[in-house]
Amino acid sequence: MKPVTTALVISGALALYLAIGIVSGPRHEQAVEAATGDKAFPVVYQSFTARDFGHEASVRGHTEALRKVALKSEIDGRVIATPVEKGTRIKKGDVICRIDTADRAASLAEAKALLDQRQLEYNAAVALAAKGHRSETQTAAAKAQLDAALAAVDRRELDLAHTGIKAPFDGIVETREAEVGSYLQKGSTCATLMLEEPFLAVAEASEAFVSDLDVGEPATVSVKGLPDMTGRIRYVASAANLETRGFRVEVELTNPEHTLKEGLTATIRLPIGRTHAHLLSPSWFILDKEGRLGVRLVDGEDRATFMPVEVLDDAEGGVWVAGLPNDIRIITTGQDFVADGEKVRLVEESATS
């Protein structure tokens, strides 16, 4: 809610209302003519049904990648190729750094040969055991040697596969630390890969309204130079940042054109509660004897009745207010000439335009 702006809008509208001479003279005259011969005072009205209205809290934050990983080497070795440069968009499975296979291919061939030998030895042990020429212990030993040979082959195949450091998802190479000729030890970084779609807008929510935020609720994000974006709340922290006392909130955004970059300043409008409200023209507002702002309604017996309102926010086309019944008939012309409980003759707004 913007109280200063709303007050100015309402004050201006009321001043205009009085200045133009008892609210739309021609309409009032038409209403009188339509009511000739009827003692009830004629008024113009409109019917309204409450609509869903969401309160919002605006917080400052920034854009952030949903996923950003450092691709590390799982073996020791010298880099022999770097097929992509930083800033390159790549697909899942593309090789970013290639490490020299050295003698790993030969070691794999050796392990496979030993596996073949162990398989033959185990087959023979099983056959001899069936004829009673081998004990169960000897057969079990042959099986253990076969299993060890299988494990050795798997290990060497994995080492060979790790000579190519590949992208685990589609993304952009944010940095590439390794160069051809550099030596990577196990755990050293080859490159940093960042996911571009989807993206995040993150901020810290105040403890005053964090309990009103729900994962899955829509939120609006504004970034300078880009159209407003609508996303969904993806995460709300359950513990505050000890330094700022704020709670991290993440809003997930689509980024198909890759227009969002990491670190852009963002304004995030978060929903902090929904209610039913009416969007009304400020020219219909009046003040009662106690100085309360409200509107004049028509009840089920066609009698005028004042009802106070709570101003929620100003918007294009009017002011959002709460405190009224769901379905109302509001007097739009003649509300200052009738008192509470007075019988009125109704002229629908559309009939006078």
Q: Between 3.40.47.10, 3.30.360.10, 3.40.228.10, 2.40.30.170, what CATH number should domain 57-68+196-274 receive?
A: 2.40.30.170
- What's the mean pLDDT when you consider all of the chain? 87
Domain 3-53+276-352 = CATH 2.40.420.20: yes
Task: List the domain boundaries for the chain.
Answer: 3-53+276-352, 57-68+196-274, 73-194
What 3-state class would DSSP assign to 65? Answer: strand
Q: What region, left, alpha or beta, does residue 242 occupy, with left being phi > 0 and alpha being psi -120 to 50 degrees?
A: alpha
| Bridge partners for 210 per DSSP | none
Q: Is the pLDDT of residue 173 over 90?
A: yes
DSSP 297-332: EE-TTSBEEEEE-EEEEEETTEEEEESS-SEEEEEE
Structure confidence by residue, pLDDT tens digits, 45-65: 999 999 988 788 899 999 999
Confidence grade of residue 151 (pLDDT, cut at 50, 70, 90): very high
DSSP 249-296: EEEEE--TT----TT-EEEEEEEEEEEEEEEE-GGG-EE-TT--EEEE
Q: Is the pLDDT of residue 164 over 50?
A: yes
**What's the token pair of residue 32?**
């009188």
pTM for the predicted model, two decimal places: 0.62
Give phi and psi for 126, each to the nearest 5: -65, -40
Rounded to an integer, what distance in angstroms lies between the CA atom of residue 215 and that of residue 274? 15
Q: Is the pLDDT of residue 193 over 50?
A: yes
pLDDT at 23: 39
Structure confidence by residue, pLDDT tens digits, 104-117: 888 888 999 999 99
Rounded to an integer, what distance in angstroms lies between the CA atom of residue 264 and that of residue 128? 74
pLDDT at 288: 92
Which of 74, 62, 134 is CA-nearest to residue 99? 74
> Domain 73-194 class?
mainly beta
As a whole-number percent, the residues of the chain with pLDDT over 70 amount to: 88
Give phi and psi for 288, each to the nearest 5: -90, -175
Question: How far lies 94's CA from each of 193, 197, 343, in Å?
Answer: 12, 18, 80
Cβ contact 76:186 at 8 Å: yes
Average confidence (pLDDT) over 229-256: 95
- Ranges of beta strands (E only) in 1-50 are 41-49
Q: Is the pLDDT of residue 189 over 60?
A: yes
Strands 344-348, 41-49: pairing kind: parallel
Give phi and psi for 158, each to the nearest 5: -65, -45
Cβ contact 304:286 at 8 Å: no
Q: Is the pLDDT of residue 36 over 60?
A: no
pLDDT at 214: 92
Rounded to an integer, what distance in angstroms lies between the CA atom of residue 329 and that of residue 47? 4
